[in-house]
Amino acid sequence: MKVKVATWNINSVRLRIDQVIRFLKEEQPDVLGLQEIKCETPLFPSEPFRDIGYEFIEVAGQKGYHGAATVSKLPMERLETDFCPLGHARHVSTRVGAAADKSFEFHNFYIPAGGDVADPAVNDKFQHKLDFLANMNSYFTQRYNEGDAGQILVGDFNIAPHENDVWSHKQLLKVVSHTPMEVEILENLQKTHDFTDCSRLFADDAEKLFSWWSYRGRDPMKSNRGRRLDHIWVSPALKPAVMAGGKEAHAIHVPCRVWAEKPSDHVPMTQVLDLNA
């Protein structure tokens, strides 16, 4: 059984619903995690998803900003998790799949960006980011001690950890999202459950991988000053499922950055898992 999962910070699902539906029709993922949906839960546009076969929908909405949602072709059950110390709608955790031996946990995150200054003493937003990550670390450390439930973590992590996950490692070392402090914290989080970063699993270290390009500048793809802020991670139980497909089973869908006149500043990412591996 092969399952295709996807993640996309859509930066307003109602504004860009046509782009999301186009992506789903073209790529046919079984599960999609959306971040920054920017709407309250009752206002989430469920019908367009159900019309094309995504019958299972779980939403954590918030008025005006933030928000995450997971849509799935496969049966899905909500898991009770709480990561945000400020109570913002920034995550949706679910168990996906009807068959126990083929099901998996799908944790969909929108980690706080952290503001402009990488100093929690003077920047409350950066402290919020650190606290959110600390809660994730505690949760997955505990889960690791309980055993591997087959977990997939996706979303906008707002951290580009590798030196080639940014357009200039040297110039961005003091820029929030690529500071040594954030990178170390994310690496520690990855170690809590021995998660595999799917984007980097088969990529050459010298390969530049970006999933986000700023709205600043008229032609972001020409200058190509991007960052890889979006991630798909899997726990050890699912690593063979990722390994089975090789490099071709993972994709960062760069063309989506210029699909429309008003695109998201992020692009979607997909991963195929062979659950029989």
Q: Is the pLDDT of residue 53 over 80?
A: yes
Which residue reads 């709608």 in tokens?
Answer: 89
Q: Which has more pLDDT, 193 or 29?
A: 29
pLDDT of residue 102: 85
Length of the chain: 277
pLDDT of residue 221: 85
pLDDT of residue 128: 98
pLDDT band for position 98 (50/70/90)? confident
- Average pLDDT of the residues in 221-248: 96
pLDDT of residue 93: 98
pLDDT of residue 277: 85
- The domain locations on the chain are 2-274
pLDDT of residue 101: 74
pLDDT of residue 216: 83
- Average pLDDT of the residues in 174-201: 97
The full 3-state SS of the chain, as one line of letters, equals CEEEEEEEECCCCCCCHHHHHHHHHHHCCCEEEEECCCCCHHHCCHHHHHHCCCCEEEEECCCCCCCEEEEECCCEEEECCCCCCCCCCCEEEEEECCCHHHCEEEEEEECCCCCCCCCCCCCHHHHHHHHHHHHHHHHHHHHHHHCCCCEEEEEECCCCCCCCCECCCCCCCCCCCCCHHHHHHHHHHHHHCCCEEHHHHCCCCCCCCCCEECCCCCCHHHHCCEECCEEEEECHHHHHHHHCCCHHHEEECHHHHHCCCCCCCECCEEEEEECCC
pLDDT of residue 214: 94
Q: Is the pLDDT of residue 218 over 90?
A: no
- Average pLDDT of the residues in 264-277: 96
**120-175 residue pLDDT tens:** 999 999 999 999 999 999 999 999 999 999 999 999 999 999 999 999 999 999 99
pLDDT of residue 134: 97
pLDDT of residue 99: 75
Cβ contacts of residue 143 below 8 Å, gap of 6+?
149, 151, 193
- Average pLDDT of the residues in 30-52: 98
Q: Is the pLDDT of residue 177 over 80?
A: yes
pLDDT of residue 50: 98
pLDDT of residue 223: 87
Mean pLDDT, rounded, of the chain: 96
Which CATH number is 2-274's, of 3.30.1360.40, 1.10.10.10, 3.40.50.300, 3.60.10.10? 3.60.10.10
Q: Is the pLDDT of residue 253 over 90?
A: yes
pLDDT of residue 270: 98
**62-78 residue pLDDT tens:** 998 899 999 999 999 99
pLDDT of residue 274: 97
pLDDT band for position 219 (50/70/90)? confident
pLDDT of residue 64: 83
